Structure 1
Amino acid sequence: MKTLIVFDLDGVITSEEAYWDAAGLTLHELLYSPRYWNVTGQGDYAPVTDPEESRRLSRATLPEEEILLYKALAINSNWDTCYAAVCWRLIALLGQLSPADREPLLPLQPWEEVWLARLRQALTARRAASDQEPVLLTASGPPFAETLFAGVMGLDLLNRYDAYASARLGLPIEGVFSRLSPFWDFCRSLFQEWYLGEALYSRTYGHPPAQTGKPGCIHFERPLLPPEALRETLDSLRRSGYELGLATGRVYQEAALPLQAYDLLSCFEAEHICTYDAVEMAEAGLRRQGDTTLLSKPHPFQFLYALDHRGPTAEELARSKPPFIVVGDSSGDMLGGRAAGALTVATLSGARSEEARRRLLACEPDFVIEDVRQLPALLAKVERLETIQHLQFEARDKAERLLRLWFARQLDLLTGQVTLTPRPVSLNSFNGTYEQDGERYFFKTHVEEQSALSEYYHAELLHEAGYNMVLPLRVVRQEGRQMVIYPLVRWPVMFDLMRAVETGAPSPVPAQTLVAAERRACERLLEIYRATGRLSSADEHATAPVHQLFWHRLTGGRLSSFYRGQAIPLPGSGGSDQEEIRFEDLLRCRWVVNGEALSRTLGELLEEAQNRLHPRQAALTVIGHGDAHFGNVFLEDERDYLYFDPAFAGRHAALLDVVKPLYHNVFASWMYFPRETAQALTLSVALRRGRDGERLEVTHTYQPAPIRQAILTTKLRTLLRPLLTWLRDEGALPADWERRLALALLCCPLLTINLLDRGRIPATVCWLGLTQAVTLGNLGLLPWHELLVDGG
């Protein structure tokens, strides 16, 4: 399924400078031409024809800062920008006349020749009386800071001009300065004379302009970016499977001409182009029905029309639309795109002032880039499942919209509402539900950065081996696209039930029921191990997905990316002179934990783990889930474990199969709830330096909750002890099994998450994780040895 990207044109693909030239020259002609206001009383008016002089004169009359303010306020069309500048100056001009001088000008009809003649007479009389020319620019600039305009954006600002003029002039004014009034048409026509020039204007409208000799600012247009770079960017997006469209305030002719000149028009799909012509036609249809809604940005009409030409009916707005992307440089683009349900990408190439950027970013675009050349790289990044996993906690709404896009692009799946269910257990995964054709489905993916293996999600293998599995409806196994879709399951998850008991919260299932369910699961698991056990060669065992959780995390980049070159602050040494230790130095330290000296340093443990946990070893292997922690287990009928998310399922050594659930179900509450743990934890670290090197002395009060200890006892007695006996009887128990278990356990606290992620992990909890890793790596299950021997 191809995804549509809808681009604004000016400030994104094309430059707006020529339009701004036309806006300033329109205002200049109104101010000084004897045909219009003629504020200085000059006798004639000759249009400038030189591009440089046009630019200078235009900006002197209508400063760029003012134009950028209008854009920042979501006045998106250059016609409307020009009109906003003209209106407030005319209102200011009328405000400088006395009430008596204004009387002949009523009713206000600034588009009529007769009225314009009366205005010129009034201004002539004022000059004669005061010997002063009108002050046309005030220090305060446009009036949008006044209370009347507070909180208003876009075209609604223009529709407040009548009320502003009424208050400013002390007159009841209606339908004069609002958008789509006769005065708006009048200003647009004059703008078009300047922008198109005499020849093109005559061909377009069938009559010559009121003022001859205008060269046409359209011929002064220059590309915003090098055309070859724009072409490569657009071609790259199309090669990636995107369709490209436009939503612009230009009419089609004015949009097509520069794009044709830059050889870019063919990059855009004709059925996904919305120009101002469509806006005018739709607004005319609404007015025939008595509806005065304005459909220019920030209204979502243009983006919805570009997506689907059927238009912004109530049914269209409510209909489940395919995900799409809006790229623009203005508040109108961001507000309109968001209202249309699109992902929004703001380009800073058109927001050229600090105020414009501030207001653009205040619209909270989903993503921000400097210019469109960065778009392909951005989209490649945000489409990664890792990005969605990280965003689920801090920006869930954005993550859900990205996931709709991912489903459409990667699975050709058009979903309705997507709901992520971020859980503390989702350290390297995410899950949730989506709706399609009135049905809801459950999905889950495991995100394994620096992954070395690509075969995942062997749910059928587990089911055939006897596991009580939620069988997936669809599985995607490719690297970076691993996703499992299930029928919706309404049983509670063991992780939530355990947490409730652990914290003393109301629980629908008592602790003894959870422990009994664990005992039955261990007994059943042992039966499956015995039924599926067989010898595997070193080559076969090397491909087991479970190694991704241990050896590949050690050697595949995760250890290095988390810790190499990093400094770790010691808790309790705050301030500017906070004591810290570099990770490379930490590797060499001896440890004393709660008064017990540990024999191996962390560096020695990591080196040992790389050797003892090497995948290429012959072993007695079983069919195992590999990652059956409580976040991947439902409790069915308050009795039996129901497994899902077999991200690392396969044939592997049984001792490795038990490690992840053993560690995470018993020891890892701190990992899922780091801030809550930090509040209750007492931990201190002292760094001692002596002749035999550095020593870390750590004391802490962390203990697994009673329910966790009960699970540990059950698992050791009911599963691990008989498992060791079986392996020994089969002659398949490695001589170094205790060290292998200890080193695999070390990997869990050290490499599941980045302990140095300071935005997520408080310093004391970081040290708790490091301490647990070193303690488990040294002692393994030795503290519970009596539970592993017969009669224990």
Structure 2
Amino acid sequence: MIKTILFDVDGVMLSEERYFDASALTVWEMLHSPQYLGLSSETFAPAPKEEDIRRIRQLVFADDEVLNFIKSRGINSNWDMVYLAVSYQIIRLCGHLKSVLGQQVTDLLTGQINRAALARLSEWAKEHAPDFTIEYAKFTADFSRGNAQKAEMLLYLNQIAQERCGIVTNIFSRNSDLWKICQETFQEWYLGDERVSASIGRETLQPGKKGFLNDEIPIVSPAEMIQVFRTLKEKGYTLGIGTGRPTIETHVPLEALGILEWFDPNRVVTASHVLEAEEQSPAHAPLSKPHPFSYVKGLLGLDTPNSDVLRLELPISNGDEVLVVGDSLADLLAARSMGCRFAATLTGLSGQEARSKFEEEKADYILDDVRGILSILE
């Protein structure tokens, strides 16, 4: 009998669209802005119009083909998506420069790619590769040659660097300087000038970003979601959250929509808690989904030490008492690791097209949207 229900946020309660928009803009900025690689003469704007956002996303993610591919490989973090896309183009650029600069490119790809390294690469591109063309769609073709899944996707960049540049390296990982730059730049776009310093400890590098946090899109009406969660609470279920969003990006919109109050505050686990656990136990990183950490932490409670969460034997002994509700393969894999039940919502990036995948993976329940949760618990 189910007693605890743990929900994802994006693709379940809130649309992922603005997260994907912010991801595309982050990639665009890091490749095109003079503050980063400056690979084109196109004017960079920190406050693009809606039609420009649509155009940029369509280009960067190849009509969402790249997004769908990354998610199909079990990547659920927008930070990781940005890092993969930016790193891949850096590798392609280095392959273009290798015949001219030789050891300098080798040194860059075997050391940490920090802001100073990005500045050097920008200068090299201007002088030696003015004809270099960013080809976003090639990402899927190169990664399709391998079978990397989940966190292995980030490490597979090292293989691509060897194939394209002839350089043996291990710098591409979630613990790299470049990953941190991608993460902070994404936060600038999503939170905007007013809120970003509370998240990353500094102001936006290029001011003028309005942020998307106040422009969230609920998947079903807030009133209907509130009714669902109120009913579940009245029936005695314990409600928690396990999300890839940082804390501020979880609390602010859910509180504004009147949704947050229906969840046990001790069981609202975010990417901020995941990062904290990774810093405490780097040997266990990465802990983002599809790793079950966020859901296990939600089950045990925020007051449970991270060391105890990581030591919990999986699958859990009471798996039939826990239900995870998510929209992605990463959520399903996390639930499966825990040994609990899983309800898939068809409100993520792929929509109804995801039904066949969830059927193939034998999800316990498949729902058109979160409102269907009530029908499976009666």
The TM-score normalised by the length of structure 1 is 0.44
Q: What corresponds to 1:95 in structure 2? A: 95
Task: State the shift of 1:357 in Å.
Answer: 4.9
Mapped to 2, the partners of 1:174 and 1:133 lie a distance apart of: 25
RMSD: 2.4
Match for 2:364 among 363, 366, 371?
366
Counterpart amino acid of residue 168 in structure 1: R
Mapped to 2, the partners of 1:111 and 1:215 lie a distance apart of: 28
SS at match of 2:317: coil
- The within-5 A match list for 1:301-700 is 301-309=293-301, 310=304, 311-317=308-314, 320-321=317-318, 323-352=321-350, 357-380=355-378
Change in CA separation of 1:140 and 1:258 when aligned onto 2, cut-off 3 Å: closer
Match for 2:251 among 245, 253, 256?
256
Asked whether the equivalents of residues 47 and 214 of structure 1 are also in contact (C-alpha less than 8 Å), the reply is yes
Asked whether the equivalents of residues 41 and 124 of structure 1 are also in contact (C-alpha less than 8 Å), the reply is no
Deviations 1:265-309 (A, max 9, x none): 00111122111122112222212xxx2432111111111111003
Change in CA separation of 1:312 and 1:101 when aligned onto 2, cut-off 3 Å: same
Task: State the shift of 1:359 in Å.
Answer: 4.1
Mapped to 2, the partners of 1:356 and 1:173 lie a distance apart of: 36
Match for 2:163 among 138, 162, 167?
167
SS at match of 1:244: strand
Q: What corresponds to 2:291 in structure 1? A: 299
Q: What corresponds to 1:122 in structure 2? A: 124
Task: State the shift of 1:236 in Å.
Answer: 2.1
Q: What corresponds to 2:66 in structure 1? A: 66
Mapped to 2, the partners of 1:257 and 1:358 lie a distance apart of: 34
Task: State the shift of 1:318 in Å.
Answer: 6.5
Change in CA separation of 1:56 and 1:231 when aligned onto 2, cut-off 3 Å: farther
Change in CA separation of 1:187 and 1:357 when aligned onto 2, cut-off 3 Å: farther
Mapped to 2, the partners of 1:23 and 1:234 lie a distance apart of: 30
Mapped to 2, the partners of 1:219 and 1:371 lie a distance apart of: 23
- The within-5 A match list for 1:135-214 is 135-139=134-138, 141=140, 143-146=142-145, 149-150=146-147, 152-175=148-171, 177-214=172-209
Change in CA separation of 1:318 and 1:127 when aligned onto 2, cut-off 3 Å: closer
Asked whether the equivalents of residues 92 and 136 of structure 1 are also in contact (C-alpha less than 8 Å), the reply is no
Task: State the shift of 1:65 in Å.
Answer: 2.8
Mapped to 2, the partners of 1:31 and 1:65 lie a distance apart of: 19
Mapped to 2, the partners of 1:228 and 1:250 lie a distance apart of: 22
Change in CA separation of 1:313 and 1:27 when aligned onto 2, cut-off 3 Å: closer
Counterpart amino acid of residue 46 in structure 2: P
Mapped to 1, the partners of 2:315 and 2:219 lie a distance apart of: 36
Task: State the shift of 1:170 in Å.
Answer: 0.4
Match for 2:216 among 204, 214, 221?
221
Mapped to 2, the partners of 1:372 and 1:306 lie a distance apart of: 19
Mapped to 2, the partners of 1:73 and 1:39 lie a distance apart of: 29
SS at match of 1:45: coil
Mapped to 1, the partners of 2:143 and 2:98 lie a distance apart of: 24
Asked whether the equivalents of residues 240 and 264 of structure 2 are also in contact (C-alpha less than 8 Å), the reply is yes
Task: State the shift of 1:58 in Å.
Answer: 2.9
SS at match of 1:246: strand
Mapped to 1, the partners of 2:351 and 2:85 lie a distance apart of: 18
Asked whether the equivalents of residues 74 and 153 of structure 1 are also in contact (C-alpha less than 8 Å), the reply is yes
Please list every run of 5 or more consecutive structure 1 residues that lacks an aligned counterpart in the other structure. 381-792
Task: State the shift of 1:203 in Å.
Answer: 4.1
Change in CA separation of 1:202 and 1:352 when aligned onto 2, cut-off 3 Å: same
Change in CA separation of 1:346 and 1:315 when aligned onto 2, cut-off 3 Å: closer
Who wins on radius of gyration, i.e. which is larger? 1
Mapped to 1, the partners of 2:213 and 2:237 lie a distance apart of: 30
Task: State the shift of 1:313 in Å.
Answer: 3.5
Deviations 1:551-583 (A, max 9, x none): xxxxxxxxxxxxxxxxxxxxxxxxxxxxxxxxx
Deviations 1:193-248 (A, max 9, x none): 11111111134444311111111122322212211111112222222221211000
Asked whether the equivalents of residues 51 and 220 of structure 1 are also in contact (C-alpha less than 8 Å), the reply is no
Mapped to 1, the partners of 2:96 and 2:120 lie a distance apart of: 15
Mapped to 1, the partners of 2:73 and 2:352 lie a distance apart of: 13
Mapped to 2, the partners of 1:110 and 1:48 lie a distance apart of: 30
SS at match of 1:81: helix
Aligned-pair identity (%): 33
SS at match of 2:285: coil
Task: State the shift of 1:47 in Å.
Answer: 1.4
Asked whether the equivalents of residues 6 and 323 of structure 2 are also in contact (C-alpha less than 8 Å), the reply is yes
Task: State the shift of 1:252 in Å.
Answer: 1.1
SS at match of 1:325: strand
Mapped to 1, the partners of 2:157 and 2:280 lie a distance apart of: 25
Mapped to 1, the partners of 2:355 and 2:361 lie a distance apart of: 10
Asked whether the equivalents of residues 85 and 139 of structure 2 are also in contact (C-alpha less than 8 Å), the reply is no
Task: State the shift of 1:125 in Å.
Answer: 2.8
Task: State the shift of 1:358 in Å.
Answer: 4.6
Structure with bigger helix share is: 2
Q: What corresponds to 2:4 in structure 1? A: 4
Asked whether the equivalents of residues 21 and 59 of structure 1 are also in contact (C-alpha less than 8 Å), the reply is no
Q: What corresponds to 2:16 in structure 1? A: 16
SS at match of 1:11: coil
Deviations 1:367-415 (A, max 9, x none): 11111111101222xxxxxxxxxxxxxxxxxxxxxxxxxxxxxxxxxxx
Task: State the shift of 1:118 in Å.
Answer: 2.2
Q: What corresponds to 2:55 in structure 1? A: 56
Question: Would you say 1:104 and 2:104 are equivalent positions?
Answer: yes
Change in CA separation of 1:57 and 1:230 when aligned onto 2, cut-off 3 Å: same
